[in-house]
Structure 1
Amino acid sequence: MSTKLKLPPSGSLNESDLHFIPVKIEYDGQAKVKSYFTTSIRETDEQNLSASLRGRPLNGSKFDVPSGYSGLLMTETHKPLIEGDDREITASRSFKGFRYWNLDQVPGQGDPLLQALTWIDIAKALHGPVDEDISDSQGSLKSEISM
């Protein structure tokens, strides 16, 4: 089984306003978010938001896509009929930021999605360039790193 990713030319995708909401909705398609949800959003301060969805209060925060990265909304355009068939996933929209919502508390570093975003910084530290001058605890050892 292979998965093909189709990416259109840079800048050709329409930009979307993205919301990550902790609910399960038995619907897969376009929704009138601007008419029925966005109108209830209130800013509590610079980063935090509050809203309601079907009478349930939501607490949210705004987040930007990390510098050097692009946010893409991917849609599966060819689903496998049987196990082992090829899949095709196409970028349908782009986004520069998103709003992350919780039901009972303001989003914080304990949320799984926000913890996943910290891995970007960890990956940069682990896989980024390394200074060739490395010292031991006394500062006397100089070694070279070869890759």
Structure 2
Amino acid sequence: MESSEEAAVEKCRIHLRPGTLRDAPPATLHLLPCEVLVNRPTPVQCFFTPAIRQGPDGLEVSFRGRRLRGEEVVVPPSLVGYVMEEKGEVLVGKDPSVGSSNDDEPEQQELVEPPEALERDFDRFFGATGSFSRFTLWGLETIPGPDARVRGALAWPRLAAAIHAQVPED
């Protein structure tokens, strides 16, 4: 039986454009303790241009009149972080209403996968717009502790490797 959360998950295939990983420029990232209720490109840099100062217990900054405290988090050496963006694609050989070949839309690209393998509203395409090896993690009034979810996410690859490692026979 599916839970209500599982029923709400849209099934889709994710396609990654590997060429974008090689060309991804370095990005400066800030993980803020807030939610942005927009699902489109947004000029965040107009609203958050941090004047970061070193406080007695770590980094400090103000955002919309609230004090944020933070610290630099380094991505584990064996990993690289990427900023991903969904790319619009034209499904070649499919229904003509699926996409347009209009040159005014630079995000539209021709696919190299066989068109019969792709389905409208099922396949999603992503490319890297930036790469990072560190980011600033911000907390509201306090520095995010070791329990922060992002720390668990960064520890997961090391834990997965340990779980799947060959166990010596003793």
Aligned pairs for 1:67-106 (under 5 A) are 67-78=77-88, 84-106=121-143
TM-score, normalization by structure 1:
0.73
**Of the two structures, which has the highest relative contact order with CA contacts closer than 8 Å and spacing of 6 or more?**
2
Task: Mark the runs of 5 or more structure 1 residues left unpaired by the alignment.
Answer: 135-141, 143-147
String of CA shifts for 1:75-111, please: whole Å, max 9, x gaps. Answer: 01138x9985211111111011000111132111111
Task: For 2:128 and 2:82, locate their aligned partners in 1 and report how far apart those are by CA, in whole Å.
Answer: 6
How far does residue 129 in structure 1 lie from its aligned partner after superposition?
A: 4.3
Indicate which of 27, 30, 33 corresponds to 1:22: 33
Q: How many angstroms apart in 2 are the aligned matches of 1:86 and 1:21?
A: 30
Partner residue in 1 for 2:71: 61
Moved more, 95-104 or 111-120: 111-120
Q: Number of residue pairs matched?
A: 129
User: How much is the aligned-residue C-alpha RMSD, in angstroms?
Assistant: 2.8
Alignment-derived partner of residue 92 in structure 2:
none
Aligned residue number for residue 117 of structure 1: 154
Percent of aligned pairs with the same amino acid: 27
1:25 maps to amino acid: V
Matched, 1:37 2:74: no
Runs (4+) off by over 6 Å: none
TM-score (norm 2): 0.64
Which runs of 5 or more structure 2 residues have no equivalent in the other structure?
Answer: 1-11, 90-97, 99-118
